[in-house]
Structure 1
């Protein structure tokens, strides 16, 4: 049985607390319909999944009030038991009223599809999330994302329109408004160069969306180009709240520092901060502004140590007063031996003066000096000519997302490799010239939305040793298990060398007499040489 939930009353998306009484099932299918899956499936497979769902629900204890009614409406046991508050007040609809059109995004635990609502004819985006073994903590993380989305209602924040699920499936589909582009895809698209007025338009919408999120007590914690969606009318919407969290500035609670994609992660998180606020999103917004002006990412680090190195070289190292007041867990580890001078003005001397001033503010090493979204909106950048243009006046671009750019680059590489001619030297020159024109994106291990990267240091002991899935802490323990404090890092990290990739974490050798450093040669040739030496001996 598939189901889709929708708002029962106008303005429900603005409610911080969902209504206490769910509405009756709508007449649109009554919540009963064909399960939307890859195939029909066998009865035995369905029975086993049903048993797993019942076991998970039983492990969670006594059902909460309203659980039975939600089950009657079509919600599966595993979702109703773990995410009852998130789905309260919504009515289901059949899943077979959607038709997949194309895959438009992908991640480790989720895929995004373009689809058609067969009842309204509208085009929507479906985000499919998979839950391995129906682990309750993983479901709770998704429930938090749903609760966050339901608490937000703003033109520049993506709108959650419903959920599709099945009693016999461990997958969940989130239904969103379809957007034709994302900012990363547009910035990387060949031939697209934003004017100052257009950049102001996009930045204004981003800051308005962040202002609303922060006023509602929500930190996004993963602002980057691919999470800023744009439709054909030029409207920008902040999307992907999978790492978002509620926060109270008057009553700070610890949160994890393992958030925000590496290139857009502020220095305090790289230094292990667990108490932070709106400054983390504003730093990311500053990176986005500078990226649009420069036409490329400004801090493309490959590791956390290298990322801090790049930040300190551009933005200057923190003052002694900041080191003392912040009391960051890894201050003694990552503090540079010699202070760096701030050089943003010299590095970006071709930026318009008002834009440079805002970049300077948003990329302050001290988060207290970044201000807030409202202050940024009132800055000289938006109050001087050329003013931000209207979204409707923006050019109509062909559909372009980060995934499209990656696919184009892969196709270009395939064509280049299949048509290689001439000598090796010429081929190397062509390869280097081509690679210089390719738009860089964060490596998969640097993306905050990929859960292995975020959660590999948030694992909890597994009660079932046979399970291959990871245990994640519940949302209320979000910050208590961030960067591993017991990591062996006795020696200070030197930042006195040029930009080179260095490992973020020290690896203990498997045996004291073997070195794993140095050039990574051909392992097959190495084995042959070893075998040859053994034969001679």
Structure 2
């Protein structure tokens, strides 16, 4: 259970310690990976080979290897086309969709629009067959440029890699061979932290704040232990359901940790009010610690009820901002 709130008051139940479950899930995942490797089931490049722009690269290799990989790539694309994936997607993002079958758009009924971003729109929808409520994230592309598609594919790969009670779950994808769009299907969550903090009738107790922070840190620990930086932790990306369970969402800016790679990262990530000093100063070599700064900002926001480092530009954000 999570931090439950009701209309007349707020009650808290202890947050579940998922550390044992995480270790067990990690063990199962490792066994599955080994099984796939032994059976030849694994196709494509490793997760860590996806760069900042979404590009993949092979170190070393030779012409013979390139030829074999080329033939394998064509086989995989043909297999994915038969499964119903559009060619523009499988051509540049085959690993992201490997092993999945797309759902049809007419399997869902859109109910209302619940979110809008720079590159996406989010809808509350109902699965017609089961009546289950889900969230549909429609991704927009820049004329289907390969870089734009790879960027989206990285988010899918990251979401498929993560499996934790405090991480939003990607359930499936909606598209077709003739489709010019793609929807990500997520479990539906009723609230986000920013929305809850904006309601005067809701006052979080210290126990509730501790409960939510524990869930946030537990979800982030899972991300970081799997080499993933979220890079946009803020109240509106922290979703909460009516049972008080918090889940980290929106991995559109997430990336894999550098882990010794010389490829520079962009410093233009993390929403300004939650951006750590190293990114404000333009660093292109950083790690998961950027998420921890943002967590501190969220913690302060829980305590005072509003963002603690508000500012219009990078210059006025640090320390000098007043609560």
- TM-score calculated relative to the size of structure 1: 0.47
Match of 1:129 in 2: 139
Say whether residues 1:272 and 2:279 are aligned partners. no
Shift of 1:313: 2.5
Say whether residues 1:313 and 2:323 are aligned partners. no
Question: RMSD of the alignment, in Å?
Answer: 2.4
Match of 1:434 in 2: none
Shift of 1:248: 4.5
Matched residues in 2 for 1:65 and 1:128: separation?
A: 28
Match of 2:306 in 1: 296
Say whether residues 1:93 and 2:103 are aligned partners. yes
Match of 1:233 in 2: 243
| 8 Å CA contact 2:301, 2:308 repeated in 1 | yes
Bigger Rg, which one: 1
Q: What runs of 5+ residues in structure 2 fail to find an aligned partner?
A: 1-24, 43-69
Give CA-to-partner distance per residue, 1:134-192, whole Å, 9 cap, x none.
11100000110000001100000000000001333321100000000000000111221
1:261 to 260, 271, 274: 271
Matched residues in 1 for 2:224 and 2:210: separation?
A: 20
Shift of 1:121: 1.9
- Aligned in 2, Cα 1:17/1:126: closer, same or farther, shift over 3 Å? farther
Matched residues in 1 for 2:125 and 2:94: separation?
A: 27
Say whether residues 1:203 and 2:210 are aligned partners. no
- Residues 73-472 of structure 1 aligned to structure 2 (within 5 Å): 73-249=83-259, 253-307=263-317, 311-313=318-320
Matched residues in 2 for 1:121 and 1:92: separation?
A: 19
- Aligned in 2, Cα 1:65/1:156: closer, same or farther, shift over 3 Å? same
Is the partner of 2:222 in helix, strand or coil?
Answer: helix
Matched residues in 2 for 1:273 and 1:81: separation?
A: 33
| 8 Å CA contact 2:166, 2:247 repeated in 1 | yes
Matched residues in 1 for 2:227 and 2:104: separation?
A: 33
- Aligned in 2, Cα 1:266/1:195: closer, same or farther, shift over 3 Å? same
Report the number of matched residues: 265
Shift of 1:21: 4.7
Say whether residues 1:70 and 2:77 are aligned partners. no
- Aligned in 2, Cα 1:252/1:188: closer, same or farther, shift over 3 Å? farther
Shift of 1:225: 0.4
Matched residues in 1 for 2:143 and 2:29: separation?
A: 33
Is the partner of 1:103 in helix, strand or coil?
Answer: strand
Give CA-to-partner distance per residue, 1:213-239, whole Å, 9 cap, x none.
000000000000000000111100000
Matched residues in 2 for 1:252 and 1:205: separation?
A: 33
Q: What runs of 5+ residues in structure 1 fail to find an aligned partner?
A: 1-10, 23-60, 315-346, 349-537
| 8 Å CA contact 1:180, 1:229 repeated in 2 | yes
Shift of 1:96: 1.1
